[in-house]
């Protein structure tokens, strides 16, 4: 049996060898069709669109059928998709914000690809805020816009406040703000995809009758050159310029200082009507409103001690000494009655592009007690406001000057008395005046012999005195030019001499040896939202700063109150925040990209 089995094996092998000349090729199976979708995942905001593309392999037929959550073409709940693959998210988010986009091959419907979509809440838009201005304290705001969702939060100056959802187009917000200033109001939608709108500025004014005055109080100031302040008093009542010093003590060195000045040197009103040798008499000023656009200030000397601007200085602003200002101090003073800022330039020259060249410039918040950084100048050598010390015809005509006057002396030493911040020493004599020194007309001086106009001026000198602000001719008192002044009458003030004054106690007197030191402002954040926009779109700049007396933002904005502002850049712009106090200035930058 074993041998028979072996022969069977041999026979099988021979049969196989006999067939070796014939080859059978199996049939080629069809190529496998595959579909892929790009992008493979996406975040899409409610109401927004997202294009998808499908790539089909294994067939020349590239056509696909699009679906959303397995529904061809989608539906209103989950969103729709076009035949070309453009997905449109639903206007409001469904219960599940996870969506699947599908693409099935037209050649083989079993071949398909998918992409995962996460739906986000839409970005809100704010179109209006009511009211646009209110007094410091509790407030209720109505915010109107679009794309608001339940849980949306109103932000006031960047901080969330109590918010009630009314509809997709309206929210109400309640809160309390104790500080006067300009605040951006915006809206933040919650997750998924939390996002914040651009802001709209609202103005918070101080409590009526309080101290300081609200910015809106400046609206009483008349527009134009030499505009009447109509009773508005620049700076708070406790400001040094506005302090009644009739009862202040006399400086122990008063007599020596007066003798050094020259006891017989007469008072001279350095202001009046008409012209003297082709130039107006006095330091002019002009009042503008929000229609005056801010312009660039180009610094020629003291830019590192100046406020950078921009500033709303019109090309026609009068220059000290107009119509022939020559090469003197060339002061330019501008009051903004819309926002209650005062801008002062020194050695000012208008440029053909609307900007101004200036040796120095300072901005003053007319509602606050501002102290410039110690050792910094201003448009005045003492680092003081020039306008604050001017004698103006409108206040004399009202019967009362409620502030100190500005005056000059020939000699000064390297020292200053607050609120002055700078010296311009030309004498080493210990009896030379420090900048900021205050003289007071003696109470015993009989003013009854003078005209009513001059009595107003002399009464102010007895109650508020005059503050040394610059080197110049002895006992020259500054004022604004006005054609209503009677020059002959004003020059009767020459009968008053330095001996009729006394020096008010000076304490402290700062010199290089005892200058106080402290910390400049600390900027913890300076942000732009959004940071990438199309040209002309709104962007909210927001900051968190401690220790600052005042802010300005360059370019486009200038002086600003509060902690945020809305800008509309037309090109990619780097904004700089300048935060200033009596010990210096701190800066921070943020770039907004315009596509």
Whether residue 216 is predicted with pLDDT greater than 80 in this model: the reply is: no
Contact criterion met (CB below 8 Å) for 49 and 6 = no
CATH top-level class of 34-120: mainly beta
Confidence band (pLDDT; 50, 70, 90) for 132?
A: confident
pLDDT for 136 equals 78
Higher-pLDDT residue of 462 and 18 is: 462
Q: 530 to each of 119, 472, 593, how far by Cα in Å?
A: 20, 52, 9
- Opening angle at CA 366, ends 364 and 368, nearest 5: 90
Please, are residues 268 and 476 in contact by the beta-carbon 8 Å criterion?
Answer: yes
Q: Which of 183-192, 449-458, 580-589 has the lowest mean pLDDT?
A: 183-192
Dist CA 495 CA 265 (whole Å): 10
Asked if pLDDT for residue 395 goes beyond 80, the answer is yes
Confidence of residue 21 (pLDDT cuts 50, 70, 90): very low
Q: What average pLDDT score do residues 305-310 get? A: 95
CA distance 569 to 270: 45
CA nearest 549: which of 591, 518, 513? 518
SS3 category, 494: helix
Question: What is the C-alpha separation between 288 and 304, in angstroms, rounded?
Answer: 27
Q: For residue 238, what pLDDT is reported? A: 84
Mode of pairing for the β-strands spanning 200-205 and 133-135: parallel
The burial class, CB within 10 Å (0-12 / 13-18 / 19+), for 459 is middle
pLDDT band of 13, cuts 50, 70, 90: very low
120 or 19: whose pLDDT is higher? Answer: 120
pLDDT score of 29: 66
Q: How far is CA 385 from the centre of its chain?
A: 21
Q: What percent of the chain has pLDDT over 90?
A: 80
Asked if 130 and 154 count as a contact pair (C-beta separation under 8 A), the reply is no
Binning pLDDT at 50, 70 and 90, where does residue 209 land? Answer: very low
Measure the CA–CA gap between 580 and 523, rounded to whole angstroms: 11
What pLDDT is attached to residue 181?
Answer: 62
Which pLDDT does position 202 carry in this prediction? Answer: 79
Lowest mean pLDDT among 191-205, 289-303, 399-413, 481-495: 191-205
* Domain over 125-205 is classified CATH 2.60.40.10: yes
What b/e sequence results for 189-225 when a residue is b if at least 16 CB atoms lie within 10 Å of its CB, and e otherwise? beeebebbbbbbbbbbbbeeeeebbbbbbbeebeeeb
Report the predicted TM-score, pTM, of the whole model to 2 decimal places: 0.69
Write down the pLDDT at residue 8: 43
**Tokens 């008093």 found at:** 233
Q: What is the pLDDT of residue 206?
A: 52
* pLDDT attached to residue 207: 47
Cis before 300 (ω within 30): no
Mean pLDDT over 386-395 rounds to 97
Distance from chain centroid for Cα 446: 50
Q: Give the β-pairing of 349-350 and 356-358.
A: antiparallel
Distances 143 to 137, 147, 328 between C-alpha atoms, Å: 18, 12, 52
pLDDT mean over 166-170: 96
DSSP-based three-state secondary structure for 9? helix
Q: What is the pLDDT of residue 158?
A: 76
Q: State the pLDDT confidence band at 199, using cuts at 50, 70 and 90.
A: confident
Which residue reads 């008010």 in tokens? Answer: 504
pLDDT number for residue 448: 96
Over range 459-467, report the average pLDDT.
Answer: 98
Question: Band of the pLDDT at 211, cuts 50, 70, 90?
Answer: very low
- Spatial contact of 461 and 441, defined as CB atoms under 8 Å apart: yes
Whole-number pLDDT of residue 536: 87
Mean pLDDT, rounded, for 20-25: 45
| Mean pLDDT (the chain, rounded) | 91
Half-sphere exposure of 585 (CA within 13 A, CB side): 20
What's the pLDDT band for 67 if we cut at 50, 70, 90?
A: very high
DSSP string, 379-398: SSTTS--SGGG-B-HHHHHH
Tokens of 44: 């899409």
- The CA-based angle 499-501-504, given to 5 degrees, is 135
Least confident of 142-146, 178-182, 304-308, 442-446: 178-182
* Cis preceding-peptide flag for 308 (omega within 30 of 0): no
* Three-class secondary structure of residue 492 per DSSP: helix
End-to-end CA distance of the chain: 95
What pLDDT shows up at residue 180? 61
Identify the pLDDT of residue 31. 76
Using one digit for the tens of pLDDT, what is the confidence trace for 473-486?
999 999 999 999 99
Same-fold call for 34-120 versus 125-205: yes
Ranges of each domain in the chain: 34-120, 125-205, 224-503, 522-594
Q: Which helix (H) or strand (E) holds 457?
A: helix 452-463
Structure tokens at 43: 């975040």
Structural domain 522-594, CATH architecture: Sandwich (2.60)
Q: Using pLDDT thresholds of 50, 70 and 90, give the confidence band for residue 20.
A: very low
Decide if pLDDT at 140 tops 60.
Answer: yes
């Amino acid at each position: 049996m074993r041998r028979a089995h072996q022969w069977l094996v041999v026979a099988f092998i021979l049969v196989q060898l006999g067939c070796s000349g014939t080859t059978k090729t199996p049939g080629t199976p069809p190529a496998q069709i595959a579909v892929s979708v790009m992008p493979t995942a996406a975040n899409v905001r409610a109401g927004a669109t997202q294009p998808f593309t499908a790539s089909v392999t294994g067939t020349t037929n590239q056509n696909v059928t699009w679906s959303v959550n397995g529904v061809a073409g989608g539906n209103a709940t989950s969103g729709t998709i076009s035949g070309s693959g453009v997905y449109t998210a639903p206007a409001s988010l469904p219960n599940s914000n996870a969506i699947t986009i599908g693409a099935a091959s037209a050649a083989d419907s079993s071949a398909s690809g998918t992409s995962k979509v996460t739906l986000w809440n839409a970005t809100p838009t704010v179109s209006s805020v009511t009211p646009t201005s209110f007094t410091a304290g509790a407030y209720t705001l109505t915010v109107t816009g679009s794309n608001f969702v339940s849980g949306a939060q109103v932000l006031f100056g960047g901080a969330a406040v109590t918010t009630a959802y009314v509809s997709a187009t309206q929210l109400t917000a309640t809160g309390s703000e104790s500080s006067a200033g300009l605040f951006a109001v915006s809206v933040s939608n919650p997750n998924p995809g939390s996002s914040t709108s651009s802001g709209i500025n609202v103005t918070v004014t101080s409590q009526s009758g309080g101290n300081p005055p609200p910015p809106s109080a400046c609206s009483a100031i008349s527009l134009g050159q030499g505009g009447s302040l109509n009773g508005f008093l620049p700076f708070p009542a406790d400001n040094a310029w506005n302090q009644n010093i009739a009862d202040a003590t006399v400086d122990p060195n008063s007599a020596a200082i007066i003798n050094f000045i020259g006891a017989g040197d007469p008072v001279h009103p350095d202001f009046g009507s008409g012209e003297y040798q082709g130039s107006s008499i006095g330091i002019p000023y002009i009042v503008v409103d929000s229609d005056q656009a801010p312009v660039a200030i180009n610094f020629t000397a003291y830019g590192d001690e100046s406020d950078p601007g921009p500033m709303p200085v019109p090309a026609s602003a009068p220059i000290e000494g107009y119509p022939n200002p020559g090469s003197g101090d060339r002061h330019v003073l501008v009051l903004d009655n819309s926002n209650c800022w005062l801008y002062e330039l020194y050695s000012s020259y208008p440029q053909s592009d609307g900007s101004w060249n200036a040796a120095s410039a300072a901005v003053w918040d007319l509602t606050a007690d501002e102290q410039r950084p110690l050792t910094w100048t201003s448009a005045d050598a003492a680092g003081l406001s020039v306008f604050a010390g001017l004698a103006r015809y409108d206040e004399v005509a009202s019967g009362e000057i409620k502030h100190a006057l500005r005056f000059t002396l020939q000699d000064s030493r390297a020292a200053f008395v607050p609120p002055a911040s700078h010296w311009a020493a030309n004498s080493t004599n210990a009896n030379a005046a420090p900048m900021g020194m205050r003289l007071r007309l003696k109470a015993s001086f009989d003013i009854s012999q003078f005209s009513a106009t001059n009595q107003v001026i002399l009464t102010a000198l007895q109650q508020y005195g005059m503050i040394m602000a610059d080197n110049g001719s002895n006992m020259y008192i500054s004022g604004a030019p006005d054609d209503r002044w009677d020059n002959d009458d004003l020059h009767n003030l020459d009968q008053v001499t330095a001996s009729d004054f006394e020096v008010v106690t000076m304490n402290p007197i700062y010199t290089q040896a005892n200058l106080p030191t402290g910390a400049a402002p600390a900027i913890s954040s300076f942000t732009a939202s959004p940071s990438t926009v199309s040209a002309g779109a709104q962007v909210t700049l927001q900051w968190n700063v401690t220790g600052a007396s005042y802010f300005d933002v360059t370019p486009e904005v200038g002086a600003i109150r509060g902690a945020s502002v809305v800008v509309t850049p037309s090109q990619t712009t780097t904004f700089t925040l300048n935060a200033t106090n009596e010990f210096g200035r701190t800066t921070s930058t943020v770039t907004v990209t315009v596509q």
